[in-house]
Every structure is written in C-alpha cells, then in structure tokens.
C-alpha cells in the first residue's frame, strides 16, 4: 500500500479556495440585497407623507424629509450615507427615471433636489444610499462607485392625492 496521508490535505487545498471564495461572494451578495430591500422599505414609508400631501401642506423642507426617511432605515444603515432626491412634473412622460448622477458641492456634500409637487402632479422620489462594499475574493466586486462603494437607489413614482 502506498502512503496517501498528504492526499487529503492537497485535495482540501485545491477545493477550499474556490469554496470559500464562493461562500464569501454569496454572503456579500446577500448583504447587498438585504440592504437594498431595507432601502426600498424605507422609501415606501417615507413617500407616504408626500402622497397624502402632509409634507406639502406643512411646508416640509428637504432636511426634514431626509430626517423622516432616516427614521425608517434599519440601524445598520447610517443616515449620513442617504441622499434624497424629490422632483415633480405635470406628466409621467416628463419624469427623468434614468440612473441618477451624484454631484457634490464645494463642501463635499451631495447636491439633490426637493420639489414635492402640488395637487395632481407626478412626483418621483429617489432615496440613494452609498453602501461600503468590501472587495471580494478572486476579483468579485459589487462596487459601482469608486473606492469600494455601491450606489443603491430606491425609486417611487406617484401622483399626489393633495386636495
């Protein structure tokens, strides 16, 4: 009989690298999907105040709306990474639903619009969250922005019910 005591170690070494790479990739993808779902849920809750017209009647500001949206975020998501963009138009065809481009002011803060619209106007609300993504094994990378960050966007389009 030949000595095969090292064969198992070699086989494990060959199989373990792709196995752990796949496992880490699955966990990282799951975390991103979970965070996206949490952002969608926060977006649905935050938009309610605009759909019913409460924000428009009270003269809510962009900062107040962002604070309202932040209360719906889970604790593992930071309010500082949330960007709120609210725009309105008279018709659905006038709404820009393309992927947003983030621009920054001179102090490094993201610039966004806040126009909740009036009665019977079409409003688009985008909650954007900048998520830090760790680089994955074997070149697996979920980042869409520079420096290992991913832009997650939740979009809600509706017609106001303000009376």
Q: List for the chain the helix, strand, coil content (%; round to 5).
A: 40, 20, 35
What are the pLDDT digits (tens) for 86-138? 998 888 888 887 888 888 888 878 888 888 888 788 889 999 999 988 877 77
Tell me if 1 is assigned to some domain: no
Residues 143-163, mean pLDDT to the nearest whole number: 84
Backbone conformation region of residue 3, classed left if phi is above 0, alpha if psi is from -120 to 50, else beta: beta
Structural domain range at position 68: 7-159
pTM of the predicted model, to two decimals?
0.82
Are 97 and 155 a contacting pair, CB within 8 Å?
Answer: yes
**Pair of tokens at residue 111:** 């610039």
Tell me if 41 is assigned to some domain: yes
Tell me if 102 is assigned to some domain: yes
Tell me if 2 is assigned to some domain: no
Give the chain's count of helices (H) and strands (E).
3, 5
103-104 and 149-159 strand pairing: unpaired
Residue 4 pLDDT greater than 90, yes or no: no
Residue in the block written with tokens 């909650």: 127
**Pair of tokens at residue 33:** 């999907």
Tell me if 32 is assigned to some domain: yes
Distance CA 56, CA 117 (A): 8
- Picking from 43, 124, 61, the residue whose alpha carbon sits closest to that of residue 90 is 124
Tell me if 58 is assigned to some domain: yes
The H-or-E segment that residue 52 falls in is none
Residues 149-159, mean pLDDT to the nearest whole number: 91
Give strand ranges (E) for 15-148: 82-89, 103-104, 110-111, 122-132
Looking at per-residue pLDDT, the higher value among 5 and 96 belongs to 96
Distance CA 154, CA 99 (A): 11
Residue 46 pLDDT greater than 80, yes or no: yes
User: What's the pLDDT score for residue 155?
Assistant: 93
How many structural domains does the chain have? 1
Query: What are the φ and ψ backbone dihedral angles of 148, each rounded to 5 degrees?
Result: 70, 35
């Amino acid at each position: 009989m030949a000595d095969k005591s090292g064969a198992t170690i070699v086989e494990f070494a060959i199989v373990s690298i792709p196995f752990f790479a796949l496992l880490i990739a699955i966990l990282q993808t799951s975390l991103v999907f979970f965070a996206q779902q949490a952002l969608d849920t926060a977006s649905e809750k935050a938009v309610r105040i605009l759909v019913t017209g409460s924000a428009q009647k009270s003269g809510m500001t962009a900062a107040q709306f962002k604070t309202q949206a932040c209360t719906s975020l889970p604790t593992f998501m930071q309010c500082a990474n949330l960007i709120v963009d609210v725009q309105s138009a008279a018709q659905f065809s006038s709404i820009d639903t393309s992927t947003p481009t983030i621009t920054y002011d001179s102090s490094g803060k993201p610039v966004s619009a806040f126009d909740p619209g009036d009665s019977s106007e079409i409003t688009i609300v985008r909650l954007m969250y900048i998520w830090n993504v760790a680089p994955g094994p074997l070149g697996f990378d979920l980042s869409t922005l520079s420096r290992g960050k991913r832009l997650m966007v939740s979009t809600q389009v509706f017609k106001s019910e303000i009376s």
